[in-house]
Amino acid sequence: MYTKLVIFVVFASLVFALPGFAQREGDILYNKEITGGINFHTNGGLIGGAQIRYTKKLARGEYKMSGTATPGVGATTVLNIPNDKVFWQAGLEVSFIKNPKELRYLNPITNNTYIAFKKNAMFVLRPQLGLEWVLFRKAEEDGVQIDFILAGGPSLGFLKPYYIEYQYGLISKFEAYDPKVHTDFNRILGSAGALTGLDQCKVVPGFHLKTGLSFEMGKFNGNVTGIEIGALVEGFTEKMVILEPFDGLPPVQNKQFFSSVFLTVYYGFRR
């Protein structure tokens, strides 16, 4: 709820401020930029992930891509770039996904915490290709530049087994949570480290598409500072099991398709 509220407030503030952003514009004096940032989204926790991106300007003119649709017949696709406001971009995102029903408990004896019924921790790698259109240019040394971004690509979903410390009499063991075995919350002493079980990850392929608005607020043309706000949809070839209660309890919904609203704070360089 906290992440959703922050994203909504920032998005609303920027939308109402749009008329002022376009009051004065300068020339686009760069051809390439590299940025990195941290991500907040409605399917994650306080910090939802990170990204790195390379962007390059497309020169004016026509870009022809030829192929063969049928034997003996040529097919040509033409992309027309009418001005210097279009860029292409390539990037990589890592995003941590949570189930909204996750509940963290505290063991009063060990003071360690664990998430009830958590079968897997989920994170996603997203290689991306896309286009970026400059809607409003900023002045040379000041102002705000607004870009529209459309990008997508494959998704690699990783399901890492969630390890807990479970008590058996006078001893305890670190084990991957199993709803058929670990049925007594009083014997769960806490969770293991975040890296435990990383070598047992299951990889599930998928695809994603995102669209957003970038608000670049750097004061100098050599630096890039800003935020990006948008929406993302994503699907995988199977359900991503994050929570799994033991028998006798109501089932928990695990999704195959996800949608989210995101906010990314980024910084970088351009030339």
Task: Check residue 89 and give its pLDDT.
Answer: 95
Report the Cα–Cα distance between both ends of the chain, in Å, rounded. 39
What are the angstrom distances between the C-alpha of 134 and each of 10, 213, 224, 229, 247?
A: 20, 10, 14, 15, 54
Output the six-digit token pair for 154.
Answer: 């494959």
pLDDT band, very low/low/confident/very high, at 145 (cuts 50, 70, 90)? confident
Question: For the segment 122-133, what is each residue's pLDDT rounded down to a tens digit?
Answer: 999 999 999 999
Vertex 24: Cα angle to 19 and 25 (nearest 5):
110
What are the angstrom distances between the C-alpha of 32 and each of 63, 108, 142, 210?
A: 19, 54, 19, 22
56: closest CA among 36, 34, 25, 37? 34
- CB distance 40 to 262 below 8 Å: yes
Coil, helix or strand at residue 3:
helix
Polymer length of the chain: 271
Residue appearing with tokens 């922050």? 6
- Residue with the larger pLDDT of the pair 210 and 217: 210
* Domain edges within the chain: 2-99+124-156+203-270
Task: Check residue 21 and give its pLDDT.
Answer: 46
Question: For the segment 215-243, what is each residue's pLDDT rounded down to a tens digit?
Answer: 988 666 678 899 999 999 999 999 999 99
- The CATH architecture one would assign to domain 2-99+124-156+203-270 is Beta Barrel (2.40)
> Given a cut of 90, is residue 196 above it in pLDDT?
yes
What is the model's pTM?
Answer: 0.82
Question: For the segment 45-72, what is each residue's pLDDT rounded down to a tens digit?
Answer: 888 999 999 999 887 665 666 555 554 5
B/e letters for 192-215, b = 16+ CB within 10 Å, e = fewer, are beeebbeeebeebebebbbebbbb
Percent of the chain with pLDDT over 90: 64
* Segment (H or E) for 239: none
- Residue with the larger pLDDT of the pair 193 and 242: 242
Output the six-digit token pair for 19.
Answer: 């008329």
Task: Check residue 230 and give its pLDDT.
Answer: 97
Output the six-digit token pair for 73.
Answer: 């017949």
Other C-beta atoms closer than 10 Å to the C-beta of 34 total: 15
- CB distance 7 to 40 below 8 Å: yes
159: closest CA among 116, 112, 206, 191? 206
- CB distance 45 to 246 below 8 Å: no
- Going through 98-242 in order, the beta strands assigned E by DSSP cover 104-106, 113-115, 120-136, 145-161, 163-168, 171-176, 188-191, 202-216, 223-236
209: closest CA among 166, 159, 262, 266? 262
pLDDT band, very low/low/confident/very high, at 85 (cuts 50, 70, 90)? confident
- CB distance 40 to 6 below 8 Å: yes
